[in-house]
Chain A
Amino acid sequence: MNSSTTSAGMGFLADEGPRRGLMAWLTSTDHKRIGILYLWSMLAFFMVGVGVGVLMRLVQLDTFHHLVTARTYNALFTVHGVIMIFLFVVPGLPAVFGNFFLPILIGAKDVAFPRLNLASWYFYIAGAILALLSLFTGGGAPDTGWTFYAPFSLQTGTNVTLAVFAAFVLGFSSMLTGINFITTIHRLRAPGMSWFRMPLFCWSLYSTSWIQILATPVLAITLILVMLERLFGIGIFDPTKGGDPLLYQHLFWIYSHPAVYIMILPAMGAISEIMPTFSRKPIFGYTAIAFSSMSIAGVGSLVWAHHMFTSGMSEFANMVFSLLTMIVAIPSAIKVFNWVSTLYKGSIDVQPPLFYALTFIFLFCIGGLTGVMQGALSINVHVHDTYFIVGHFHYVMFGGTGFAFFAALLYWFPKMFGRMYSKKLIIAAWFPLFVGFNMLYFGMLVLGMQGMPRRYYEHLPMFHAGHQVVTVGSWLLALGLVIYLVALIWAARKGPRAEGNPWGGVTLEWTLPSPPITENFEEIPVIDHGPYEFRKGGQHG
């Protein structure tokens, strides 16, 4: 950044420490700088993932069908999945906003292990580089889908080994972040910041971190076994050697279902911050939201086999997992009711962050309800491995986590960069985003109901019209994303200076100047009330 002329009042952004320029960013252990490192690297990978996604949709149009071969198509959906899951949604909100705001929200000067925090970012980048290398080395880009299902992942000649190793390294990064956050929350809360005075975003990070710690190692060992299998042929997942591919599916989903909550819980936490600020009213049902985060983390660890209803598990197991899946929908619904109740009789101020947060609630409801549908065995058998699943998943992960990410970025952007974006441009981006999103993914829900299988290179003529609608939707969505990002990137460099508290929020970050100073607080605050008390006229009345 051009510091010399405009550095006055630019807080930590102007404080480069002993080194200059890029090196100041790459060596800083300031949690705020690390959060921003994550932000830009993740957005870059996200746009690559979007590009691959748009290309995949393009291939479903007759005119462009021969742009890629069937094999390349397999590689495309694998790469799209790996990038989006492991490089964007899993690190997602914790890595960016968790890093930047967790210490501030609990009144601390940094996370518990600042150097480990920087190391996590390097693990993240190393994983990303390995993932990109796997596309161009060995047997070429993996073609298994992001799930790496055995036995195909053991047999394919493509570079699965390296891709799996990349996912392992990325998992390590996310686990270290989890350890860091739990220790931070236990040890570094400011005096008076009791557990139930913490903003709800911290609660969601706390439950997320527990899932990261408890589930990621299982993924790690599963991926190690796939690598061992491919390198040495140990046989554990290989049916021809007496192994069992179903064991792979179990181990994979023991991580990967809870991982869905790693992705969505922090998103819910961010929404729980936005709703009270723009309703000028305490959040409705604070404890219910806090505990629903924890119970999602708990129950969510026991539902993994709902991905395997058609795999030939016993009828009894199917029934148990179906029931548990229904149960885990309850805490999610509690949150939705609480957010909506927060709006009730509030003095609502529709600013861009709230606009995007409300969109999140709408899209997340569709995603959640289609999820409950699939939890029912009778429906699941029919929609399994169809576009319905793809549509549902994107409603939750993109409509849910993605939009919450956008909302959180809009909410905290002025605090992070000390500058304000053009609200008009952001609202203008919303229209193509919203329309495109629903054309794309609701179209997929319909196609799936009609029987279009996922991951197919070709489709029958009866799905033609549907595919056209869906593909046009993908263009609109991409257009909206570009407008959104351009607006923010421009604002980060040239936007007008933002005040300390542009939204009238009452949590601790709004008591600081925008952007905050390197140490966050000149003096550690003493907390004597809950997080969302608006009537007292600010946090430190």
Chain B
Amino acid sequence: MVEHRDDFGSKLGMWLFLVTEILLFGGLFIAYSYMRARYPVEFHHAGAELNATLGVTNTFILLTSSLSMALGIVAMQRGQELWSRILVGCTVLLGLVFLCIKGVEWAAKFHHGLYPDSARILTLPQGERIFYGLYFSMTGLHGLHVIAGMGVLSVMLVMMLRGRIHPGHYTLLENGGLYWHLVDVIWIFLLPLFYLAA
């Protein structure tokens, strides 16, 4: 087929894809709001159990990563390819830090016997079980998106090194950035819903 390049078109496609991602989480947000209206007290109690410090730290990490991503694209626009690579690399690393902190948090919960269907969880009031069910599903799904985002950005890095993404043609990098910002935005909603629910 003819090589046909349409930067606006590929960004439009990316935005449409982001819409589907938002709606994917939208289903979970519906479930959350319904369950929270049904079990307000239990959500309050269970929310107090979460480690808000770790949650807030992770928020800062993700926000910083979004900043470095945005700067990486600006650097590319200005033709500073080396800076762009470094900044995108930082973004991936910050994603990794986020995942590590998340891992520590989940491990602590598991250690306390708090995981879906565990003996301890089944002794909790129903509303708290649902809270943890949603907590693990939503942060877990978000974690998968972080991993996917890191994967995408790593591919971008390789493409930058091979010269397939360069200051003359970097729509892919912008699309990768859009995806990363989406992952960030979803977390911004998760933080108050779970960590600040108490």
Contacts and interface: CB of A to CB of B under 8 A. Distances in A.
A186 interface: yes
Contacts, number: 120
Contacts of B38: 244
Nearest to B20: A217
B1 A233 contact: no
Given A213-B20, A218-B27, A234 B133 contact: yes
A232 B26 CA distance: 22
A110 B35 contact: no
Contacts of B127: 242
B27 A183 contact: no
A224 B130 CA distance: 16
B130 A187 contact: no
Contact of A221 (B4, B6, B28, B136): B28
Nearest to B118: A233
B2 A186 contact: no
A217 B34 contact: no
B1 A29 contact: yes
Contacts of A244: 34-35, 38
Given A217-B23, A217-B27, A228 B1 contact: no
Contacts of A234: 116-117, 132-134, 136-137
Interface in B113-150: 115-117, 122, 125-127, 129-130, 132-134, 136-137, 141
B27 A114 contact: no
A242 B129 contact: yes
A251 B27 contact: yes
Contacts of A243: 130, 133
A109 B137 contact: no
Which residue, of A113, A183, A222, has the highest number of chain B Cβ atoms within 10 A?
Answer: A183
A247 interface: yes
B6 to A, nearest CB: 6
B9 A236 contact: no
A112 B129 contact: no
A242 B9 contact: no
B20 A175 contact: yes
Kindly state the interface size class of chain A when it binds its partner: 35 or more
B31 A251 contact: yes
A220 B141 CA distance: 12
A179 B13 contact: yes
Nearest to A250: B30
A236 B117 contact: no
A179 B133 contact: no
A30 interface: yes
Interface in A68-127: 109-110, 112-114, 116
A241 B124 CA distance: 10
Nearest to A240: B126
B16 A179 contact: yes
A234 B131 CA distance: 9
A224 B75 CA distance: 39
A411 to B, nearest CB: 26
Nearest to B38: A244
A187 B137 contact: no
A519 interface: yes
B97 interface: no
A233 B121 CA distance: 11
A205 to B, nearest CB: 14
Contacts of A216: 20
A233 B117 contact: yes
Contacts of A217: 20-24, 26-27
A236 B30 contact: no
B60 interface: no
A525 interface: no
B10 to A, nearest CB: 8
A324 to B, nearest CB: 18
A216 B24 CA distance: 8
Contacts of B39: 242
A331 interface: no
A469 interface: no
- Which 5 A/B pairs are nearest by Cβ-Cβ distance? A242-B126, A233-B117, A234-B133, A221-B27, A217-B23
Given A233-B116, A235-B130, 7 more contacts: A110-B1, A178-B16, A221-B25, A221-B26, A228-B116, A236-B31, A243-B130
Interface of A: 29-30, 109-110, 112-114, 116, 175, 178-180, 182-183, 186-188, 213-214, 216-218, 220-222, 224-225, 228, 232-236, 241-244, 247, 250-251, 254, 518-519
